[in-house]
Amino acid sequence: MPLITISENLGSGGMAIARQVAEGLKIELYDDRRLQAEALKLGFRSERLRSLDEKAPGLFDRIMGKKPNLYLDIIEAVVYEVSRHGQGVIIGHGSQMLLRDFGCALHVRIHASKARRISNLMTAQNLSQADAEKLIRKSDDERSGFFRFAFQRDWNDPSLYDLIINTEKIGNDAPSTFIIELAGSDEISSCSLTALDAMGKMSQTKKIEAELLENDINLALLHIEVVQKGTIRINGLTNTAEEKNRLHRVIAAMPEIGESKIDVKVATGGL
């Protein structure tokens, strides 16, 4: 079955199309709510999920102690985990970039002019033109900022997508039919076991990174390798002996890790 990412501009109709595609193919739809539920299944605490949206951390977020790298590791762990099943429709959250090297994923961008998006939002949410314009401008700025921060890429880069659909021209019904037909092609319809295994390993790697970052362990001098699901190796350096001990405690407390080989030394000068 197919794995599809759908990215949209607010007001372009992408959410409705994603639902139609998921229903038509009888596969799961991973919207914000479902992705957060999957994050909880992975063991992330609910208070962390307040940052699970498409916003680049701003100056005040950094001052208040939020950790941008932790924020990204959570998103990446969840996207890789749901992709490990080899099917589903994932909406946004950088999924088109995270899965860009997996040939079995179809990446779709839903587009419409700003004028049409404003009109759609005014109708759908009973907003004034000024309020609709403000919401769209805010959404566009946040999505672009998130993408630049996370991947150093332009969200509007057409090379990130296999298919770009202008709903202003062809409406909201035809796109879902076309996506469903395209998803059934031999090139898209199935993921190899190797690809699915790789996504599972990447998900666990990001989960480990997130746990270490949450416990103030510097990842810059560490190399984390998931040999197979539940078996890991960590090599490198920590700044202090206390940080090294903390790393061991964090890994030991992760129930999904059955076997770990940790070869970590304290950097010269560390206490």
Instruction: Give the contacts of 15 (CB within 8 A, at least 6 positions apart).
Output: 8, 31, 91
Selecting from 3.40.50.300, 3.30.1360.20, 3.20.20.140, 3.30.360.10, what CATH number does the domain 3-183 have? 3.40.50.300
Instruction: Write out the CATH class of domain 215-266.
Output: alpha beta
Q: How does pLDDT run across 24-56, given as a tens digit for each residue?
A: 999 999 998 898 888 888 887 766 666 666 666
Weakest mean pLDDT among 22-36, 174-188, 236-250: 174-188
- Of 189, 226, 181, give the one whose Cα is nearest residue 80: 226
What digits encode the pLDDT tens for the residues 188-233? 666 666 777 888 889 999 999 988 988 889 998 999 999 988 899 9
Residue 49 vs residue 251, higher pLDDT: 251
Three-state SS string over 189-203 comes to: CCCCHHHHHHHHHHH
- Is residue 173 scored above 90 in pLDDT? no
Q: Looking at residue 69, what is its pLDDT?
A: 76
Query: pLDDT at residue 66 above 70?
Result: no
- Confidence at residue 62, expressed as pLDDT on a 0 to 100 scale: 44
Residue ranges per structural domain of the chain:
3-183, 215-266
Question: What is d(CA 207, CA 255) in angstroms, rounded to the nearest whole number?
Answer: 12
Residue-level pLDDT at 269:
61
- Go through the chain and tell me how many residues it has: 271
- For the beta sheet containing 222-228, the strands, ordered from the edge strand earlier in sequence to the opposite edge, are 222-228, 231-238, 259-266
Q: Within 10 Å of residue 125's Cβ, how many Cβ atoms?
A: 11
Report the share of the chain in percent with pLDDT over 90: 53
CA–CA separation, 68 and 49 (whole Å): 13
In terms of Cα–Cα distance, which of 107, 110, 131 is closest to 121? 131
- pLDDT the model gives residue 48: 65
pLDDT for 111: 93
